[in-house]
């Protein structure tokens, strides 16, 4: 054990690191434990905390560096306004929530005093950029909470809906388009959508920056009842999926212990926390364990505004046939380093904010996010309530009305109960209206009607099957309507359910193996369909024998991926379809679109279709097979590999000179397997999407088993910088206990 000696702490606590560098805190009260958490976040992750706030505030190009992608993100987030009304939201928080956040902020600010004394080390990126952090406060915590919700969930949905609009405006054949995205375009008049003025989509560089921020975008989580458990206790497994190739890891693992000398049984909380917030996204206490997955829910809509110049603010919008009203205008001033200030006028009304400053009259997009509505700030209290909950039922009640992000929580408790609960505000729309395409805002019947009541969100409690599972699959309200704007494939969820069904007495080792499972039900579904059109040949014989697993040593996995991509390009990449260049981008590059690939997978299973009415489906698949067979023979590990790089210096010359760019790391799995080892790569950039934390626990014990792609420290010269990387890459777990023994 290595003692941590806090030099600037105003409250007493004891902390020590275990063999993996994970801090274990011992405090006499929950107040001092939360204070210690803030202190440790500042000690080990000062740059991550403060740089995230700078980006969320829209001042990254001013405070960090005047880079094009930072300025682009500043403009985008300032227009979105996630930095607005934080003080108002803080003023309506419950007093006990305010107290806990204040304790955390005190700890973080005191810890920064100690970090600031290290001229080189924890604060090296701040020193290089000349960054001077301001004190951390309640508004800072709430801003990181907004970023967590908006950056991964709302932005991903907005980008997908923009992709659809681009396809419509490119003149893609309407019959092809409607069939590809059926039933979501049923009854939608596409012609008005062709005339909308679209802003430029976020660049690949900005999207890469977005993936580097605190967010929730995908995950697996499941719980197993005592009846199906080898130990006779409830089991829980959770692995949130995010970018993993940048160090430090997004999550900060910690063990908090609290209780006075007279307490017979001290309390604890162990798991993954988010630097900048007093929240534990995945973890457990003595009585409860939890994990979360992104609920693929429709929390953001585009509307169409009919705009014209005029009025007191310069631009007006229409309601009804001829009722013109003035936009409100909010001016955001950006001050990029070494450049002239930029004035950004944001035109908004009660529906949303224009996505583009208008330059000519006509139809413009307006964006609305449910998380920006009054009361959204109380979401931070939900995470604290979960730590305090003593049972699954109590935790489900605590999260049900949480404003954002939209999540599926999975719980298990010491008494043997398991459950899942969807949470997050969802816009209530008039019957028959979805959020897949923008609707005219001048027709006020299209406006939101409030928030979907929490009691209509799906949940399960001690189901007869003996387990609950979630993996970003489609979900529906209890009264019928879908929670999503467009469908996503359920390959991971089905594979998890398949394995749990096969395990009558599940063990922790089997839960860990399932987190590293690389069996693809996508391949299992599609290969019989595709190979039926291919004559006897080496490719067909190999893929028929393939076990559908994306192991590092598998050459058949590589062959199938080549085959699959060539099929997509042949069938959907022609001139009357999506187009070859765009389809290539959507299937292999930073623009990878789950929306398009899910639609394409469903289409490939059809016997008849407008997509192959005038072109023979079998002939296209055979051409794809010939092209795939001509690809170089490589193992999956040879093509699905990435570099671990520093989150702040990346692959820059500085990073290479400092020796903080690791050699290539092969990664198993792909986007359709439980271990979602997904790589997005161009000639100059790498981005990953994979399990960012593995956590498994048995509620009969007071320990968990975990690993993550990184370590506690953001300091590239610290021995705690990448302590878990070897465990993560090899599928091994360490024991995480409250007392570090």
493 pLDDT band, cuts 50/70/90, is very high
Q: Give the pLDDT band of residue 686 (cuts 50, 70, 90).
A: confident
pLDDT in tens, 224-244: 999 999 999 999 999 999 989
Residue 156 binned pLDDT confidence (cut-offs 50, 70, 90) = confident
16-517+695-741 fold: 3.60.20
User: Over the range 210-234, which residues count as b (16 or more CB within 10 Å of their CB) and which as e?
Assistant: bbbbbbbbbbbbbbbbbebbbbebb
191: CB partners within 8 A, 6+ apart: none
The answer, yes or no, to whether residue 646 has pLDDT greater than 90, is no
pLDDT value of residue 125: 65
Q: Is the pLDDT of residue 192 over 90?
A: no
Give the whole-angstrom CA distance, residue 136 versus residue 101.
10
pLDDT band at 157; cut points 50, 70, 90: confident
- What lies within 8 Å, CB to CB, of 463 at 6+ separation is 418
Q: What pLDDT is attached to residue 685?
A: 75
d(CA 564, CA 570): 10
Q: What kind and span of H or E run contains 696?
A: strand 694-698
C-alpha span between 104 and 380 (Å, rounded): 13
Peptide bond into 315 cis (omega under 30): no
Is pLDDT of 424 > 50? yes
Which of 68-77, 158-167, 201-210, 301-310 tops mean pLDDT?
301-310
- The pLDDT assigned to 130 comes to 65
**pLDDT for residue 126:** 64
119, pLDDT greater than 80: no
Both tokens assigned to 618: 């079998």
Place of tokens 């928030």: 451
pLDDT band at residue 488 using 50, 70 and 90 as cut-offs: confident
Q: What's the confidence (pLDDT) of residue 18?
A: 96
The single residue of 57, 115, 211, 219 carrying the catalytic annotation is 219
Domain ranges of the chain: 16-517+695-741, 521-637
The mean pLDDT of 131-137, rounded to a whole number, is 87
Q: What is the pTM of this model?
A: 0.95
Q: Is 219 one of the annotated active-site residues of the chain?
A: yes
On average, the pLDDT of the chain sits at 91
pLDDT at 291 over 90: yes
Buried b (16+ CB within 10 A) or exposed e, 415-446: ebbbbbbbbbbbbebeeebbbbbbbbbbeeeb
pLDDT tens digits, one per residue of 562-600:
999 999 999 999 888 888 888 888 887 656 788 899 999
pLDDT confidence of 170, banded at 50, 70, 90?
confident
Q: What whole-number distance in Å separates Cα of residue 688 and Cα of residue 88?
A: 37
229 DSSP β-pair partners: 506
The answer, yes or no, to whether residue 658 has pLDDT greater than 90, is no
Residue 158: predicted pLDDT: 83
- Flag whether pLDDT at 215 surpasses 60: no
Q: What is the DSSP letter of 203?
A: P
Show binding-site residues: 159, 298, 301
User: Which CATH code, of 1.10.1400, 1.10.3470, 3.40.50, 2.40.128, is assigned to 521-637?
Assistant: 1.10.1400
Binding-site members for Ca(2+) are: 159, 298, 301
């Amino acid at each position: 054990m290595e003692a941590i000696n806090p030099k600037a702490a105003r409250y007493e606590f004891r902390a020590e690191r275990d063999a993996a560098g994970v801090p274990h805190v011992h405090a006499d009260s929950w107040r001092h434990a939360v204070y210690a958490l803030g202190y440790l976040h500042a000690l080990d992750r000062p740059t991550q905390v403060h740089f995230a706030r700078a980006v969320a505030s829209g001042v990254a190009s001013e405070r960090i560096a005047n880079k094009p992608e930072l300025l682009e993100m500043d403009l985008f987030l300032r227009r979105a306004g996630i930095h607005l009304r934080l003080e108002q939201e803080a003023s309506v928080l419950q007093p006990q929530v305010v107290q806990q956040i204040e304790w955390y902020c005190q700890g973080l600010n005191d810890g920064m005093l100690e970090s600031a004394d290290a001229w080189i080390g924890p604060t090296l990126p701040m020193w290089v950029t000349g960054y001077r952090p301001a004190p951390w406060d309640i508004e800072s915590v709430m801003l990181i909470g907004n970023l967590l919700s908006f950056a991964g969930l709302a932005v991903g949905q907005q980008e997908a809906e923009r992709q659809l609009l681009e396809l419509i405006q490119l003149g893609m054949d309407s019959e092809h388009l409607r069939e590809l995205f059926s039933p979501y375009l049923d009854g939608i008049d596409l012609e008005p959508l062709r005339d909308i003025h679209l802003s430029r989509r976020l660049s690949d560089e900005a999207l890469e920056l977005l993936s580097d921020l605190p967010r929730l975008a995908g995950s697996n989580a499941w719980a197993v009842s005592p009846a199906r458990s080898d130990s006779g206790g409830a089991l829980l497994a959770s692995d949130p999926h995010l970018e993993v190739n940048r160090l430090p890891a997004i999550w900060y693992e910690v063990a908090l212990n609290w209780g006075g000398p007279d307490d017979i049984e001290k309390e604890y909380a162990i798991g993954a926390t988010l630097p900048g917030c007093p929240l534990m996204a995945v973890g457990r206490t003595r009585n409860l364990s939890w994990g979360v997955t992104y609920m693929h829910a429709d929390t953001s809509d585009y509307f169409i505004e009919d705009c014209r110049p005029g009025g007191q603010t310069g631009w007006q919008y229409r309601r009804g046939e001829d009722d013109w009203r003035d936009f409100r205008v909010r001016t955001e001033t950006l001050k990029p380093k070494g450049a002239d200030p930029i004035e950004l006028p944001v035109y908004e009304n009660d529906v949303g904010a224009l996505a583009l400053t208008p330059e000519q009259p006509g139809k413009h997009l307006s964006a609305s996010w449910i998380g920006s509505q009054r009361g959204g700030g109380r979401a931070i209290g939900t995470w604290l309530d979960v730590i305090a909950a003593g049972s699954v039922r109590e935790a489900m009640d605590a999260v049900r009305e949480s404003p954002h992000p939209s999540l599926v929580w999975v719980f298990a408790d010491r008494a043997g109960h398991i459950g899942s609960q969807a949470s997050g505000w969802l816009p209530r729309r008039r019957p028959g209206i979805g959020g897949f395409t923008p609707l005219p805002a001048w027709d006020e019947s299209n406006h939101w009607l409030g928030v979907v009541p929490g009691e209509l969100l799906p949940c399960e409690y001690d189901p007869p099957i003996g387990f609950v599972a979630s993996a970003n699959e489609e979900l529906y309200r209890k009264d019928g309507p879908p929670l999503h704007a467009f469908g996503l494939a359920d390959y991971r969820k089905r594979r998890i359910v398949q394995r749990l069904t096969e395990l009558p007495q599940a063990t922790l080792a089997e839960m860990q193996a399932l987190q590293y499972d690389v069996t693809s039900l996508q391949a299992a579904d599609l290969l019989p369909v595709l190979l039926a059109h291919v004559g006897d040949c080496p490719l067909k014989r190999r893929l028929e024998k393939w076990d559908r697993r994306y192991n590092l040593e598998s050459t058949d996995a590589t062959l199938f991926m080549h085959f699959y991509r060539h099929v997509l390009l042949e069938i959907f990449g022609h001139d009357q379809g999506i187009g070859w260049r765009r389809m290539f981008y959507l299937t292999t590059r930073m623009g990878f679109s789950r929306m398009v690939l899910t639609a394409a997978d469903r289409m490939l299973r059809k016997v008849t279709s407008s997509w192959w009415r005038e072109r023979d489906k079998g002939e296209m698949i055979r051409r794809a097979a010939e092209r795939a067979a001509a690809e170089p023979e490589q193992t999956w590990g040879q093509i699905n590999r990435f570099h671990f790089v520093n989150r702040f210096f990346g692959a820059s010359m500085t990073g290479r000179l400092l020796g903080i760019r690791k050699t290539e790391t092969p990664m198993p799995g792909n986007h359709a397997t439980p271990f979602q080892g997904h790589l997005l790569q161009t000639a100059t950039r790498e981005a990953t999407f994979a399990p960012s934390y593995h956590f498994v626990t048995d509620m009969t014990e007071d320990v968990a088993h975990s690993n993550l792609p990184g370590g506690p420290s953001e300091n590239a010269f610290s021995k705690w910088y990448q302590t878990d990387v070897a465990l993560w890459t090899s599928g091994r777990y360490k024991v995480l206990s409250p007392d570090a023994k």
